[in-house]
């Protein structure tokens, strides 16, 4: 049984395989895809608690463009950006667009998992607020 799920988006196949495998070893429901387009297709079919998104992806959609579209499809899903030293500026832009946080490459798994935990807590708290507002709307303000 899984308590939450994570979508990992990175064009580097070795990195992607390693990170997904290591998450699965910890019984995390993790899915890996290599492009923004594939990630968006999946998000139209299934909801994710957290997305881990590389900001530098060649061809097609880059991380920031992907992030914008993700926020339209699943606004409450928290997105953690993966960035190199050269693209920290891009991650700052991403955070202004609603990304939860960023992690520098090379990724330290413990650091990443700690941020995933924080991101899930934030999403849960947001969902609780929304539910509470819906309950109030039905039961109090009629």
- Binding residues for Mg ion, per CB under 5 A? 11, 54, 56
Min dist CB 63 to Mg ion, Å, is 8
Nearer CB in complex with Mg ion: 16/43? 16
Min dist CB 54 to Mg ion, Å, is 4
Alpha-helix runs per DSSP H in 1-108: 13-25, 36-45, 63-73, 88-96
Q: Are strands 101-104 and 78-83 parallel, antiparallel or unpaired?
A: parallel
Nearer CB in complex with Mg ion: 93/118? 93
Nearer CB in complex with Mg ion: 22/56? 56
Beta-strand runs (E) in the chain: 5-9, 29-33, 50-54, 78-83, 101-104
Residue 54 DSSP SS3: strand
- Give residue for tokens 């994570």: 6
Min dist CB 86 to Mg ion, Å, is 11
Nearer CB in complex with Mg ion: 63/123? 63
Min dist CB 89 to Mg ion, Å, is 16
Which residue number places its CB atom closest to Mg ion? 56
Residue 41 DSSP SS3: helix
Q: How many helices (H) and strands (E) does the chain have?
A: 5, 5
């Amino acid at each position: 049984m899984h308590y939450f799920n994570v979508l990992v988006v990175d064009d580097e196949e070795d990195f992607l395989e390693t990170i997904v495998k290591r998450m699965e070893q910890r019984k995390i429901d993790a899915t890996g895809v290599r492009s923004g387009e594939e990630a968006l297709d999946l998000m139209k079919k299934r909801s994710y608690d957290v997305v881990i998104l590389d900001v530098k992806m060649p061809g097609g959609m880059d991380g920031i463009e992907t992030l914008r579209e993700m926020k339209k499809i699943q606004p409450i899903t928290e997105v953690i950006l993966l960035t190199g030293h050269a693209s920290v500026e891009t991650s700052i832009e991403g955070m202004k667009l609603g990304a939860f946080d960023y992690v520098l490459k090379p990724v330290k798994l413990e650091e990443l998992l700690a941020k995933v935990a924080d991101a899930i807590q934030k999403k849960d708290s947001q969902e609780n607020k929304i539910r509470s507002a819906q309950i109030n709307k039905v039961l109090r303000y009629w």
